[in-house]
Structure 1
């Protein structure tokens, strides 16, 4: 075909989760693959994240004797989202395909030499539903020596999943244990192990990274070794359509437009629109680009380009919520302290701007942030206040600061961290009716005394308890707020990305509004309407689908059965 500057078999737009997985499958079939990344760094928001994939019935669960099956996972997803009528990305057929192909995708990556494993205990977010798994269905990459990437090391998107001390180079699972290091001899022993590992790493020229950095680092290494061509600073401005089918893309190469033919198809995995305030205002009003952990390149233009050629969209009002607290000095684009464990810990609650507690502070971070925005429609709740006492300050991390350590003076001076000797005094600082706040705290403390949250059932799910403090008894998540001074910090409904986009079928093909297929065009990741609909079933419910649908798309485009 004339008019093209380059010809390859498969073009992938974006380098986040799923892109290199799709490319690896194509390379096993002897097909040429070109990944086009518009920024200077490879890995997308996946590299920044925990790098967790939600993969039911995976090989590591079988290895460890953890019960799961296609039928059990189907029961769980049906119980959680089977009644949805406004989530076209989450049809029963797509859910079945996901559950079938997800463990196959993991097997494929392991066979390609990508070292994966599972977290020993990470409950599904609705583990109390039929089919829910208390042990969890997570798959992660093993620690990765990023120095193995050679010159590509500088091209890998830096991960936010790292220890506060550079010498420590823990795995994701080890990192989640570190908050208890001042109170647990077992964790102190782990800390000593990590110090030794860090010293040995420095002596031997290794630099271990975890989370999304490890996952995408391993994927990048496999991609380069397989012969996939990856171009950075190569944005795609146009999908080339001929006779109703996508035939290629217009990208930028050496500062000039370049037309690339894709003989087998184009896969769009370019992220969502978390960094596009205009699109946020249109689809997710009341949210801000200042609250997102997504990469700067997550600006939505490829979703709009697919819309331009007729793609249907759905679930555009959804995000992968991630409650955050922003102390002074937290720069835009850097890791913002998550508040996920803050209000799920003992001696802490979340209240709106009238001093009323209005949710289970445990549970899914997506549900948490949706509840904040929904509450804000009737009662001022953005920001809400995390309220806690001196027991919390002694035991737990706050916005990345160590337990029991004095907090920066600017936190107080700039009004971020409120402090008072009494609940009444704290209420006055928060401009809340003292009687209302005192009543809320008294009611919560009554639930603590009975070890039962009668309002919102915090602690009833295994996941709630996992988020809390395993050393706190009798409840891992319920603890009285009674020892002054008392404190509060603002919480906003942040996110790690958007969760809606173009509608795709069970082969990851992009669909028009009438349900017809746009030939030659595939999509995965948060460029699509999620297969999980309007829920987040467990850790990795966006990264997992990105990988799985990239794998499915490559199978279909490459004619692999």
Structure 2
């Protein structure tokens, strides 16, 4: 393309501010390049900021110290058992080799601080090569005050990860808060959290500055951008990739403050815009039916980067096991506002005293399986599995909560009034509320309860793997995932086949370069995060298999842009 009037020239232009984009920008800058990052929204962090924050980086430097020494052969065996042909061997190998190097690189330069999980089973712990911990890492707690006035530019976490209107908590915190009146240790932990949060709010901050989970990961990377002086433009939408006569990407047209600007990228452009979970047309073409808009990703993740890359000649990936990473999602309808989605990931489904049933009133899945597998069970079932219903008794909801209904006796009438939480005094009455056959539901619960009282689930094996038990109640024996539903009143929520991001993206090589239909790299164009075809091929072998590759291939892209070889 000749005759372009360039408004700005940089070495590397990164589009998107999630883990993949920020890793690419930081790495390119560390390698000496002049970098600009542009972000469509008014906040930094993308999907990363609202995620659980786990990173699956096998062979990382902390694995052995966490009590789980690992080998390439073990991890490779596990990936072949879980991902297999859904992703090429070349990309899986590139990931396993680059992941630990990426982690060392960003940690040594002060951009990341993480801790390996000493106990965190891979999602298929009974398959060859699986590990019981060490491969998944979590970002350590981050003090948002380090961001100064730019703290407001960091995307807020999901409300479900906060209490008291803006105090972030993790599972450990929740357990202490629920026991605060019964344990001095729990009371002391809880008071420390609440006093810190009170100080934040009294200091004029819109939420707490003790950051955890994916919000801490995004904040660490954002802090790195600030420290390294990397310019970033918010409210800047990508419009068109400029190419020369040979197809090389020269730069990008963006819209900012009502103006179209042409930015030349001498080394290349990195697309990391978060995939297409809110592109209704592409979802309809790609997702299993029904393909409702039940995504947990930010609503601005509408496939911009993928569309632009395709227009530049890049190919969409194929051969995947699944086009998205799934999670059962319940939906609270709110008049005059967008629906509120709640992802049933790890907190309620695996606990003792809950079952999932379909429209026939029958169980169809091991409730304590991974969120990805739970939705796949819905998709494998006939249409009567959408929506499914999570059902529990009074004791369960008081102890563990159910979706947006919080535990500990917190008010839940507003959820009942809104139709989100369904309540009934008997199972027959609940069946009527759900529109399922009362006799079938009563028989299902009776069979479940009789076996659960013995700690057994001959139908679906709930609590049958180390991963199941990891998410259960360790104080409940003999099976931490199984207990009778008990007495009424009974409660239920509807869950739908939602997603936490897309797995089908632009095909790429081991250098994170976008490739065309013939497998040839498109000069000057890179992809990372969910804009890239998942190295897991739409399989979900362990916690952190979205953010781990996002960081890794963002780092790979940044180094390749700079021509780094060592």
* Fold equivalence (TM over 0.5): yes
When structure 1 is superposed on structure 2, of 537-546 and 339-348 the one drifting more is 339-348
**Superposition pairs for residues 339-358 of structure 1, below 5 Å?**
340-358=346-364
Q: For the Cα contact (< 8 Å) 2:47–2:298, is it kept in 1?
A: yes
When structure 1 is superposed on structure 2, of 343-352 and 138-147 the one drifting more is 138-147
1:386 aligns with 2:383: no
Q: Distance in 1 between matches of 2:314 and 2:147?
A: 37
Q: Per the alignment, do residues 281 and 54 of structure 1 end up closer, same or farther by CA in structure 2, a change over 3 Å counting?
A: same
TM-score w.r.t. length of structure 1: 0.92
Q: Structure 1, residues 5-29: CA drift from partner, whole Å, max 9, x if none?
A: 2211111111111212112221122
Q: Structure 1, residues 322-369: CA drift from partner, whole Å, max 9, x if none?
A: 212224549537563536432321111100001111111112211212
1:515 aligns with one of 510, 513, 519: 519
| 2:110 corresponds to | 113
1:99 aligns with 2:96: yes
Distance apart, 1:238 and its partner CA = 0.9
| 1:44 corresponds to | 46
| 1:194 corresponds to | 193
Q: Distance in 2 between matches of 1:157 and 1:305?
A: 25
| 1:151 corresponds to | 149
Q: Per the alignment, do residues 188 and 150 of structure 1 end up closer, same or farther by CA in structure 2, a change over 3 Å counting?
A: closer
| 1:455 corresponds to | 459
When structure 1 is superposed on structure 2, of 61-70 and 24-33 the one drifting more is 61-70
| 1:29 corresponds to | 31
Q: Distance in 2 between matches of 1:77 and 1:119?
A: 19
**Superposition pairs for residues 128-207 of structure 1, below 5 Å?**
128-160=126-158, 162-165=161-164, 169-170=168-169, 172=170, 174-175=172-173, 177-178=175-176, 181=179, 185=183, 187-195=186-194, 197-198=196-197, 207=209
Q: Per the alignment, do residues 183 and 321 of structure 1 end up closer, same or farther by CA in structure 2, a change over 3 Å counting?
A: farther
2:281 aligns with one of 278, 281, 289: 278
1:269 aligns with 2:272: yes
When structure 1 is superposed on structure 2, of 124-133 and 181-190 the one drifting more is 181-190
Distance apart, 1:285 and its partner CA = 4.9
Q: Per the alignment, do residues 546 and 337 of structure 1 end up closer, same or farther by CA in structure 2, a change over 3 Å counting?
A: closer
Q: Per the alignment, do residues 354 and 333 of structure 1 end up closer, same or farther by CA in structure 2, a change over 3 Å counting?
A: closer
Q: Structure 1, residues 234-263: CA drift from partner, whole Å, max 9, x if none?
A: 111111111121121111234222111111
Q: For the Cα contact (< 8 Å) 1:163–1:175, is it kept in 2?
A: no
Distance apart, 1:216 and its partner CA = 1.0
Q: For the Cα contact (< 8 Å) 1:112–1:222, is it kept in 2?
A: no
Q: Per the alignment, do residues 537 and 136 of structure 1 end up closer, same or farther by CA in structure 2, a change over 3 Å counting?
A: farther
**Superposition pairs for residues 306-317 of structure 1, below 5 Å?**
306-314=309-317
SS of equivalent residue, structure 1 residue 487: strand
When structure 1 is superposed on structure 2, of 154-163 and 230-239 the one drifting more is 154-163
Q: Distance in 1 between matches of 2:533 and 2:324?
A: 11
Q: Distance in 2 between matches of 1:305 and 1:383?
A: 35
Q: Structure 1, residues 27-50: CA drift from partner, whole Å, max 9, x if none?
A: 122111111111111111111111
2:323 aligns with one of 303, 318, 323: 318
| 2:14 corresponds to | 12
| 1:301 corresponds to | 304
Q: For the Cα contact (< 8 Å) 2:513–2:557, is it kept in 1?
A: yes
Q: Per the alignment, do residues 217 and 339 of structure 1 end up closer, same or farther by CA in structure 2, a change over 3 Å counting?
A: closer
Q: For the Cα contact (< 8 Å) 2:43–2:153, is it kept in 1?
A: yes
Q: Per the alignment, do residues 241 and 476 of structure 1 end up closer, same or farther by CA in structure 2, a change over 3 Å counting?
A: same
Instruction: Specify every segment of 5 or more residues in structure 1 that has no aligned partner in the other structure, as ranges.
Output: none
Q: For the Cα contact (< 8 Å) 1:325–1:339, is it kept in 2?
A: no
Q: Per the alignment, do residues 370 and 183 of structure 1 end up closer, same or farther by CA in structure 2, a change over 3 Å counting?
A: farther
1:210 aligns with one of 209, 212, 215: 212
SS of equivalent residue, structure 1 residue 314: coil
Distance apart, 1:443 and its partner CA = 2.2
Aligned length: 553
Q: For the Cα contact (< 8 Å) 1:295–1:333, is it kept in 2?
A: no
TM-score w.r.t. length of structure 2: 0.91
Q: Per the alignment, do residues 539 and 513 of structure 1 end up closer, same or farther by CA in structure 2, a change over 3 Å counting?
A: same
| 1:332 corresponds to | 338
Q: Distance in 1 between matches of 2:45 and 2:420?
A: 33
Q: Per the alignment, do residues 471 and 451 of structure 1 end up closer, same or farther by CA in structure 2, a change over 3 Å counting?
A: same
2:500 aligns with one of 496, 499, 505: 496
Instruction: Specify every segment of 5 or more residues in structure 2 that has no aligned partner in the other structure, as ranges.
Output: none
Q: Distance in 2 between matches of 1:9 and 1:226?
A: 16
User: RMSD of the alignment, in Å?
Assistant: 2.5
Q: Per the alignment, do residues 256 and 379 of structure 1 end up closer, same or farther by CA in structure 2, a change over 3 Å counting?
A: closer
SS of equivalent residue, structure 1 residue 140: strand
